[in-house]
Amino acid sequence: MVSKKEEEMNQQEDPWKARWNERYSDEAYAYGEEPNEYLKMQLLNLPSGSALFPAEGEGRNAVYAAQQGWKVSAFDISEEGMKKAVKLAERKHTEIDYRVGLLPTLNFKPASFDLIALIYAHFPGPIKSEIHQQLITLLKPGGTIIFEAFSKRHLDYVTRNEKVGGPKDLDTLFSVEEIKNDFKNFDVVELLETEVNLSEGSYHNGTGSVIRFVGRKK
């Protein structure tokens, strides 16, 4: 059943989708073709299994995980992102299951993933916690969340240097307390706010502030 917040998101989807389709329509990959460094580092600690990549855009992280032996699913609202992700997988001689649409419509099965990787998955502020709760139902007991996204403090960084990218509205950004609240039923492996130097394609370049989280579902 679609919630009131999701109905609001449905109404917003067209401009939101148009924005990301436009960004992903260039031939170059907006955030590059190489995986996020934090994801890459954390995958070294895990045996391969089934993985879900929400808001996966052009597929750089999902494709990398598939290359490492993971059975990968991904989703986004952008058809242009999906097209480029599939092309990247083909070039890297691997496969991913990529679906386009809002999460409640995509028919992922409960407790079906060993890993959910949220890498700069900045959902709109009013629904971001609700989406996290929906995603948790898709994770197996003992499954892992890997999370990296811009913190609320990042507003200061992007004001000084727009090339570092990221949202400019506070509600879409994250705090340690929000992550604690959203993932209460998790054993915390790591949770911190830290400064990072990013060099990811055309849209993540420079110093920013992020939340990093690794947790295991109880």
Helix ranges (DSSP H) in the chain = 4-23, 37-43, 60-67, 79-91, 128-138, 154-160, 176-182
Angle of helix 79-91 versus helix 4-23 axis, rounded to 10: 60
- Please count the structural domains in the chain: 1
CATH of the domain at 35: 3.40.50.150
- Does residue 178 carry a pLDDT above 50? yes
Residue 39, helix vs strand vs coil = helix
The pLDDT, as a whole number, for residue 13 is 57
164 versus 18: the higher-pLDDT residue is 164
- Full domain range(s) for residue 82: 4-217
Q: 170, exposed or middle or buried, with CB in 10 Å at 0-12, 13-18, 19+?
A: exposed
Q: Which amino acid is at 28?
A: A
pLDDT above 50 (res 2): no
Q: What is the pTM of this model?
A: 0.92
Per-residue pLDDT band at 146 (split at 50, 70, 90): very high
The span from the CA of 90 to the CA of 113, in Å, is 23
